[in-house]
Amino acid sequence: MADEGVAAVSQGTADGEGPADSEDVIKVRRGLFGAAGTGDTSGYGRLVNEAALPGETPRPYGGYFDEVVDTLTAVLQREGIEFADAVEKVVVYRGELTLYVHRAQLPAVAQLLRDEPDLRFELSLGVSGVHYPADTDRELHAVYPLRSITHGRRIRLEVAAPDADPHIPSLYGIYPTTDWHERETYDFFGIIFDGHPALTRIEMPDDWHGHPQRKDYPLGGIPVEYKGAHIPPPDQRRAYN
């Protein structure tokens, strides 16, 4: 599970070197641990930290990344799909190529990445969920790492969906290995993978309410067996300010 934002650092080439590109700032954090006001003696109350996601990377991407994007562009056009209609942006960050895909086009992009001989990303290593509460209308993200055993390459697909409509097409029919991973992501984050053959909880009980790895999920208190004492959740504890 990732944090609300990631501080973007050097990106732009396949080995992670080169100048930093733009950032998408989704939130500005002020203070830490609830410390605020003039009564704060910790020093944390004056912290200002931007929560940012890596912005789009300009060409050249470096290494084999340009070849992958060029090949995908060509095969999409062959299928009558413009690259911009399928891929929101291309990001090279810390030596990894991530294609941010429009969720409606996810199956088409994944199918071409798997089947095209010059791409042959035949293995999906699963799917991870991420919750960015401050990324308005894109709060839920699903990340698919793909591996080409044929060509010895790795890329990632990332798809976003809003809290109000948490639906993403399932890739089970293209990569059957995503079966349990999509179930786990649904269980913990509430992303609904349309087309999955058995989208049920895999870790939590069937009657569990909510999705425990979302950042808006209640942290809960810790019961202590001492005269009925109870430790409140961290966000409800005494504030020193």
pTM of the model: 0.79
Nearest to 179 by CA among 155, 197, 158, 206: 197
90 membership: H or E segment, kind and range: strand 87-93
Report pLDDT for 30.
Answer: 78
Contact (Cβ atoms closer than 8 angstroms) between residue 143 and residue 127: yes
Q: What 3-state class would DSSP assign to 77? A: helix
Report pLDDT for 1.
Answer: 39
Tokens, residue 184? 């786990």
Q: Angle formed by the axes of helices 106-115 and 65-78, to 10°?
A: 110
Report pLDDT for 54.
Answer: 87
Q: What 3-state class would DSSP assign to 57? A: coil
Q: What are phi and psi of 194, to 5 degrees?
A: -65, 130
Report pLDDT for 184.
Answer: 97
pLDDT digits (tens, 9 = 90+) for 100-156: 999 999 999 999 999 999 999 999 999 999 999 989 999 999 999 999 999 999 999
Counting as low any pLDDT under 50, the low residues of the chain are: 1-20, 241
Report pLDDT for 233.
Answer: 67
Tokens, residue 65? 């990344």
Report pLDDT for 144.
Answer: 98
Report pLDDT for 13.
Answer: 44
